[in-house]
């Protein structure tokens, strides 16, 4: 019995130490392994299967909007990176450089891709000549390198996987429309597939992407009340186009600069899934993204007919991602393993169940036991999975809303941030001095100015001057 409990006992409770709980879960659920390269992680098969499901769904969503996939080089010449001043300054502290090729010192250092704006711009300057060449709607799936001082699996690592979309348009209106369109793709995916509700809005000038005219974001609340920026979409205007001389001839035979966008989501979204839905027994995966949706666990599998019935059920559930755990581990250990890995449901089948022509279906999120006739197991499993998906989103929304507060002045703001983890809605004059003061005094940063504005007060929460917008504030990963 002690051995069966060990798997869960090794997880630190999230109430005792949330950061350690997170680390325990990503390790014990076999999502990652630490590598010999500091700050880099090995994504194990189960973790990579999760990323593949994310990639598959997002890729289809992108293509539905007309996007095509390309691939850019891993290395960027320093001379190319220097063409956009704000961009290179924004990434300078995080850039890894290649200085030698074999034994020879390179004349032009090569940057290991932290992001690919400059490569796409160089590419576009060569292939765009006429309005007939527009728009260009490209995306690439790749890894990027950013030299981080402090790392944590999925949330912040030196190398990580992501997608980065880069589009070029004839007009400012088209570019802005694409920027918002892709942000909505991210938000819908997170809500409908990952069961994570998002707040959509615009980043402050201080927090926007280096070189962008405007950055839009989706922000999620984790179980501990901290924010996680989960996806961003940037409107570049024509700034990059002017730096890289990306021009086209319009219908009136006049030269014009293109307007560009960029948008991305990375493996940090796996961190969001863990921290929004997980519990003290491990992962809890939404059915629509889970690599395995149901684990069939035969009880007393050495008895005649039990394993055969388990595989018969598996065949009936061929439209779902189902496995049979026919290992020689005890049922209790198998239950703990299934819970740790966040598999949405387990299906228990033993001699007594066979006699009654039933199986016991147990939901991972609520641990509710449901007795299901084997004659209708396909219908019931689909129903249970859909209910679980819906309930997980509802719980995440309820948690976010119950941990979102309003503040009218700094006294209220500081009292909330020090005693009630979560988001704070407060009015802001949009002055960067106030933004800095709030961060210095409380550790909270502006998360976004939401599209859905509310009127909390007439004046800025910090300086008491007339407010221009309502913003979400919070501590963040």
Range with lowest mean pLDDT among 20-29, 33-42, 79-88, 209-218: 79-88
Q: CA 73, CA 69: separation in Å to the nearest integer?
A: 14
Q: CA 329, CA 343: separation in Å to the nearest integer?
A: 17
| Cβ(51)–Cβ(267) below 8 Å | yes
pTM comes to: 0.95
- Strands (E) in 258-337, as ranges, are 259-266, 294-298, 322-324
Residue 379 burial by Cβ neighbours in a 10 Å radius (0-12, 13-18, 19+): exposed
* Average confidence score pLDDT of the chain: 95
At residue 81 the predicted structure's pLDDT band, cuts being 50, 70 and 90, is confident
- Nearest to residue 195, comparing CAs of 404, 390, 399? 390
Q: Is the pLDDT of residue 2 over 80?
A: no
Angle 143-211-234 from CA coordinates, rounded to 5°: 65
Q: Is the pLDDT of residue 477 over 90?
A: yes
- Residue 288 is predicted with a pLDDT of 98
Q: Is the pLDDT of residue 93 over 90?
A: no
Domains and CATH numbers, the chain: 2-277 (3.30.930.10), 294-384 (3.40.50.800), 404-474 (3.30.110.30)
Pairing of strands 214-221, 227-237: antiparallel
**pLDDT tens for residues 423-461?**
999 999 999 999 999 999 999 999 999 999 999 999 999
Proportion of the chain above pLDDT 90, given as a percent: 93
Per DSSP, 204 falls in state: P
Q: How far is CA 288 from CA 35, 247, 252, 396, in A?
A: 30, 43, 49, 16
Q: CA 146, CA 95: separation in Å to the nearest integer?
A: 6
- Region 193-216 average pLDDT: 96
**pLDDT tens for residues 44-73?**
999 999 999 999 999 999 999 999 999 999
- Residue 83 is predicted with a pLDDT of 82
- Strands (E) in 102-149, as ranges, are 104-112, 136-145
- Nearest to residue 270, comparing CAs of 17, 1, 22? 22
Pairing of strands 294-298, 322-324: parallel
Q: CA 331, CA 226: separation in Å to the nearest integer?
A: 37
Q: CA 338, CA 347: separation in Å to the nearest integer?
A: 11
Beta bridge partners of 69: 139
Question: Which residue carries 């989501």 as its tokens?
Answer: 265
357 phi-psi bin (left φ>0, alpha ψ -120 to 50, beta other): left
Range with lowest mean pLDDT among 82-86, 123-127, 259-263, 463-467: 82-86
- Residue 9 is predicted with a pLDDT of 64
């Amino acid at each position: 019995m002690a051995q069966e409990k060990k798997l869960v006992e090794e997880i630190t409770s999230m109430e005792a130490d949330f950061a350690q709980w997170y680390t325990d879960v990503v390790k014990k659920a076999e999502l990652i392994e630490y590598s010999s390269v500091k700050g880099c992680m090995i994504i194990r098969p189960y973790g990579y299967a999760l990323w593949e499901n994310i990639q598959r769904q997002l890729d289809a969503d992108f293509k539905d909007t007309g996007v095509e996939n390309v691939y850019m080089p891993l290395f960027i010449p320093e001379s190319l990176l220097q063409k956009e001043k704000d961009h290179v300054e924004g990434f300078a502290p995080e850039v890894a450089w290649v200085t030698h090729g074999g034994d020879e010192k390179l004349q032009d250092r090569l940057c290991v891709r932290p992001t690919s704006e400059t490569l796409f711009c160089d590419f576009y300057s060569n292939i765009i000549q006429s309005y007939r060449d527009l728009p260009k709607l490209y995306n690439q799936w790749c890894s990027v390198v950013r030299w981080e001082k402090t790392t944590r699996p999925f949330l912040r690592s030196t190398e990580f996987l992501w997608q980065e979309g880069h589009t070029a348009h004839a007009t400012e209106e088209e570019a802005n429309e694409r920027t918002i369109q892709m942000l909505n793709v991210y938000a819908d995916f997170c809500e409908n597939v990952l069961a994570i509700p998002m707040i959509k809005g615009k980043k402050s000038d201080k927090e926007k992407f280096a070189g962008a005219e405007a950055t839009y974001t989706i922000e999620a609340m984790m179980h501990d009340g901290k924010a996680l920026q989960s996806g961003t979409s940037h409107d570049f205007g024509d700034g990059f186009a002017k730096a890289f001389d990306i021009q086209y001839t319009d219908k009136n035979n006049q030269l014009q600069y293109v307007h560009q966008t960029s948008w991305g989501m990375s493996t940090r979204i796996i961190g969001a899934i863990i921290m929004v839905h997980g519990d003290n027994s491990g992962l809890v995966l939404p059915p629509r993204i889970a690599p395995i949706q149901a684990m069939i666990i035969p009880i007393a599998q050495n008895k005649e007919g039990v394993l055969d019935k388990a595989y018969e059920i598996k065949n009936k559930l061929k439209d779902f991602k189902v496995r049979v755990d026919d290992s020689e581990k005890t049922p209790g250990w198998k239950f703990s393993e299934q819970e740790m890995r966040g598999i949405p449901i387990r299906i228990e089948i033993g001699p007594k169940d066979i006699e009654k022509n039933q199986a016991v279906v147990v939901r991972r999120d609520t641990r509710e036991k449901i007795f299901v006739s084997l004659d209708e197991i396909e219908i019931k499993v689909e129903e249970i999975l859909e209910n679980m998906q819906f309930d997980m989103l509802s719980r995440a929304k309820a948690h976010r809303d119950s941990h979102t507060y309003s503040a009218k002045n700094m006294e209220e703001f500081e009292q909330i941030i020090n005693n009630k983890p979560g988001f704070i809605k407060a009015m802001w004059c949009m002055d960067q001095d106030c933004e800095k003061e709030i961060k210095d005094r409380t550790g909270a940063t502006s998360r976004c100015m939401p599209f859905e504005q509310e009127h909390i007060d007439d004046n800025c929460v910090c300086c008491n001057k007339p407010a221009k917008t309502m913003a979400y504030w919070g501590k963040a990963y």
